Amino acid sequence: MKKLSAGEARGLNNLSPGDQNVMIGDRIRDLEENALVELSYAIVADLTGGLDAIQCPFAVEILDVIVQARATSGSGTVTAQKGGNAITDAIVMAVDTTVVRAGTLDVAYSLLAEGQYINLVTNGAADRGLVTVIARRI
């Protein structure tokens, strides 16, 4: 997804007197540059073999991964990976409705290009949950 250029922002700023007053183009551009994004995937099937679950719509740097367990699975975990390399530790996903964040984040693998996938791998076939990746656009 293409970001708003400086010239396009200036053009939006000058569309109307109201847009000039609030500098709407500059505000949109600032949000594109600095806002956090969330990318989510609901695990509803066996992912012990892994799955290219979340495709990045633009280049991102992963800042956090949050997991909400949606089933009870004694040794349930999920790991976020990039090309087979762990981005996060195995995040606990064992008790239904419990929310857990990644304990570690490997910066060597936390940058993803547009179109790359975040691979999710669970420990057990019955592990279920919602994985939410918090990232910033780069």
Secondary structure (DSSP) of the chain? -PPPPHHHHHHHHTSSHHHHHHTHHHHHHHHHHH-EEEEEEEE-S--TT-EEEEE-SS-EEEEEEEEEE-S--TT-EEEEEETTEESB--EE--STT-EEE-S-B-TTT-EE-TT-EEEEEESSTT--EEEEEEEEE-
pLDDT at 94: 96
pLDDT at 90: 98
Domain topology for 36-137: Jelly Rolls (2.60.120)
The span from the CA of 100 to the CA of 109, in Å, is 21
Considering the chain, what is the average pLDDT of its residues?
Answer: 94
Q: Which residue has the higher pLDDT, 33 or 1?
A: 33
pLDDT at 1: 61
**CB-based contact 133:63 (threshold 8 Å):** no
What average pLDDT does the segment 51-56 reach?
95
pLDDT at 66: 98
The token pair at 53 is 């679950």
For 57-109, write each residue's pLDDT tens digit. 999 999 999 999 999 999 999 999 999 999 999 999 999 999 999 999 999 99
The span from the CA of 55 to the CA of 35, in Å, is 19
Please state the domain extents for the chain.
1-34, 36-137
What average pLDDT does the segment 110-130 reach?
97
Q: Which of 4-8, 106-110, 134-138 has the lowest mean pLDDT?
A: 4-8
What average pLDDT does the segment 14-39 reach?
87
Whole-prediction pTM: 0.84
